[in-house]
């Protein structure tokens, strides 16, 4: 589990560092923009690799149960994941009415993804993994709101971006549901 935690610290730490504007600007001034981006990418990729490797090792060594989710949470997770995929695909640059409503679709997608998986998994590793992402996304959303992060414009009509988000999000939702056991282990569709 220590690999998973180290990966989360590196991956979410680098992504949190971006929200600390003064420190970020100091790092860019000291290193230069190119080397800063390279170091940022290297640490984030290393963190992601450690998250995947650490979680896979944790699962292979046996889950540590904390609570037993009721069977119905499986179906709630499936529905929530549709919203997560659609929200993620609403991040495209095309004009979108829905993106104006949700403001930060990628963060919303991460919050829904992590919450959906938290309610369907009762083991310690899943709680650490998905809980860390949920807390991080909440922090970043709060940080954006506090510093006045730009929000997308609010359109009075549905637009191309909405169609892209809804159609491609739904397609990815279906593909991942069927590919989930091959990619991540647990079966989604019975």
User: What 3-state DSSP class applies to 87?
Assistant: helix
Residue 112 is predicted with a pLDDT of 97
Q: How open is the CA angle 119-125-130, to the nearest 5 degrees?
A: 50
> Does 159 have pLDDT greater than 90?
no
Residue 64 is predicted with a pLDDT of 96
User: What 3-state DSSP class applies to 103?
Assistant: coil
| Residue 54 DSSP code | H
Nearest-angstrom CA–CA distance, 179 and 184: 8
**Span 72-130, pLDDT tens digits:** 999 999 999 999 999 999 887 788 888 888 888 999 999 999 999 999 999 999 999 99
Tell me the percentage of the chain whose pLDDT exceeds 90: 73
**With contact defined as beta carbons under 8 Å apart, do 39 and 33 qualify?**
no
Average pLDDT over all residues of the chain: 92
Residue 52 is predicted with a pLDDT of 96
Instruction: Grade residue 19 by pLDDT with cuts at 50, 70 and 90.
Output: confident
What's the whole-number mean pLDDT along residues 22-44? Answer: 95
């Amino acid at each position: 589990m220590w690999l998973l935690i180290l990966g989360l610290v590196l991956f979410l730490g680098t992504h949190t560092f971006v929200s600390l504007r003064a420190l970020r600007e100091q790092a860019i001034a000291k290193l230069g923009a190119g080397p800063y981006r390279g170091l940022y990418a290297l640490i984030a990729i290393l963190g992601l690799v450690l998250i995947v490797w650490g979680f896979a090792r944790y699962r292979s060594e046996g889950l540590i149960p904390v609570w037993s989710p009721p069977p119905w949470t499986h179906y709630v997770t499936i529905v929530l994941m549709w919203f997560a995929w659609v929200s993620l695909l609403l991040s495209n640059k095309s004009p979108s009415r829905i993106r104006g409503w949700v403001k930060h679709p990628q963060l919303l997608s991460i919050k829904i993804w992590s919450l959906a998986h938290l309610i369907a998994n009762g083991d310690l590793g899943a709680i650490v993994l998905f809980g860390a992402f949920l807390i991080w996304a909440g922090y970043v959303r709060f940080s954006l709101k506090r510093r006045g992060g730009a929000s997308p414009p609010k359109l009075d009509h549905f637009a191309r971006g909405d169609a892209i988000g809804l159609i491609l999000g739904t397609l990815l939702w279906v593909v991942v549901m069927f590919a989930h056991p091959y990619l991540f282990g647990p079966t989604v569709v019975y």
